[in-house]
A and B are shown apart, each in its own frame.
Chain A
Amino acid sequence: MDIRLDNISHSYDDFDVMRDISLDIPSGQIVCIVGPSGCGKSTLLRFIGGLERPASGRVLQLGAPPAGCLNPLTYIFQDFALLPWRSVAGNVSLVLEDHGIKGADTRRIIDDVLARTKLTDFAKALPKQLSGGMKQRVAIARALAVNPAVMLMDEPLSALDSQTRELLMDDLVDLWTRQPFTAVYVTHNLAEAVRLGHRVVVLSRRPGQIREVVEIDKPLAQREFGDADLDAYQKHLWHLMRDEARAADAELINV
């Protein structure tokens, strides 16, 4: 299933935040969206998943979601959004309960996703017992459990320290290599974008517009920490963004 953004514009009151964004998200690819703060990248992600409505333009699903898909558009949030009163397994089962999956099926799915995210030993732990990286792994496991057509990742690694971030990036690359998934990955971290993105979409400062789409051909599995090719891409991206980031930083916030 592909996603197409068709001329999306948005404004709060008479204040333009986004203008004419058109973008194709082909299945099996990770599309990263980067941009200076306040350019509306998280808002764009909420449009894609139907949590907010754009003022004009449409978000289209092209084709049917794959068989066995419970929740085609599935988010991974920056702050994990785990229910603190449920165990790791309970948090995963939460998203299965409403789809009429019961008993042995639930257990099979939970065991499978926890194994894929290396959480099998933590199934009974409560979120308060887990580190930030573990919490985000639980959120990833929960997202995998509904077998999504497109994963919508909203700065998933931003709340983590840099070592944990490296580990989780490796995990995401492993997951993708074993079974390619489609994802829209919003981040302000250019290193994450060049490491995980097949395409990197650079948004401009408010009102957000697409400045450039950078294609990175190198296979995900061959990208490494401190890769020279990726550094070149990262420099290019930073060059595109620097002046805007500075201007955005100096802007008064009036939202």
Chain B
Amino acid sequence: MSEAAKEKAVAFRGGGFAPRPRRWVGFAVFLGLILVAEWGTRAGWISALTLPKPSDVLATFRELYQSGLLFKHLGPSLSRLVVGAAIGASIGISVGILIGLSSYIRSGLVPLVAALFPIPKIALLPLFVIWFGIGEGSKYALIAFGTFTPTVVATYGAVDNVDRTLIRMGQSFGLTWFSIVRKIVLPGAMPGILSGLRISLAIAIILLVAAEMLGAEYGIGAYILQAGSLYDLERLFAGVVILSLLGVLVSALIGVIERRLLDWRT
């Protein structure tokens, strides 16, 4: 056997298992799906009743924008979303921190939250109308209630995961309870709270449509429901696309906040 034959490079078998962001891939997936749908509807192997033509949806969308109706629908929806989600998330974070820190509040509220979580909030819509009226109040309440429960669960889980040695450190330097909560617990729980907010805010967008089922003249939800009842698939899809974009936007916004607030993470 020759000297060279005995020599063999060690085969590489490490690497992998570490996904890295590839910006354009997500965009390509969207584009690919849309192109397939366009091709199918044009070629006829997707019937017009199954799926509207993406180009028609785009045209409807342009019409909506040009007529000024887009912002007439988007404005009320966004304000409902912002107000409702802000109320739900802020109460949720506060309650979640209290559950995370106090034995009594934890024992008292965790079963209650578990009982509230699986209730379809849409089912409570009539109740909210009685409590808060047919106007904006019931819409805020529905969205707030829907964001509240997942935020609470995410927050107290995040508080449980805050490094206890940091809390001991705070105590050992004589920090007040409030200081420890504000300067150690809250920032320490922030990664968990923000990833919980991703879920809560997606739920808020889902509930936006439900909230606009009752007595809303304008709003993305009202627009979709109206188009749905007329089987106007182009308008239905235009509305759905707006909700999807809203979701992507919210997710990107949280991504920005994460990069700003959590750059200390290794």
Contacts and interface: CB of A to CB of B under 8 A. Distances in A.
B253 interface: no
Nearest to B179: A98
A146 B264 contact: no
Given A51-B168, A81-B168, A98 B176 contact: yes
Interface residues of B, number: 22
Nearest to B174: A71
B166 A81 contact: yes
Interface stretch (A72-80, A169-177, A180-188, A199-207): A72-80
Contacts of A95: 173, 175
Interface in B167-196: 168-169, 171-176, 179, 183-184, 187-188, 190
A84 B265 contact: yes
A79 B168 CA distance: 12
Contacts of B165: 77, 79, 81
Given A81-B166, A81-B168, A83-B166, A128 B266 contact: yes
Nearest to B264: A85
B264 A98 contact: no
B172 A74 contact: yes
Contacts, number: 56
A60 interface: no
Q: Which of A49, A81, A95 has the most CB of B within 10 A?
A: A81
A40 B261 CA distance: 39
Contact of A94 (B171, B183, B261, B266): B183
Interface string A94-123: 110111000000000000000000000000
Nearest to A94: B183
A139 to B, nearest CB: 9
Describe A's contact surface by its main secondary structure: loop
A126 interface: yes
A75 B264 contact: no
Contacts of B261: 85
Nearest to B171: A51
Given A71-B173, A77-B165, A83-B183, 6 more contacts: A51-B172, A85-B262, A98-B176, A99-B174, A127-B264, A142-B173
B169 to A, nearest CB: 4
Contacts of B262: 85
9 contacts: A71-B174, A81-B165, A83-B166, A84-B264, A85-B187, A85-B188, A85-B264, A98-B173, A98-B174
Given A51-B168, A85-B187, A74 B264 contact: no
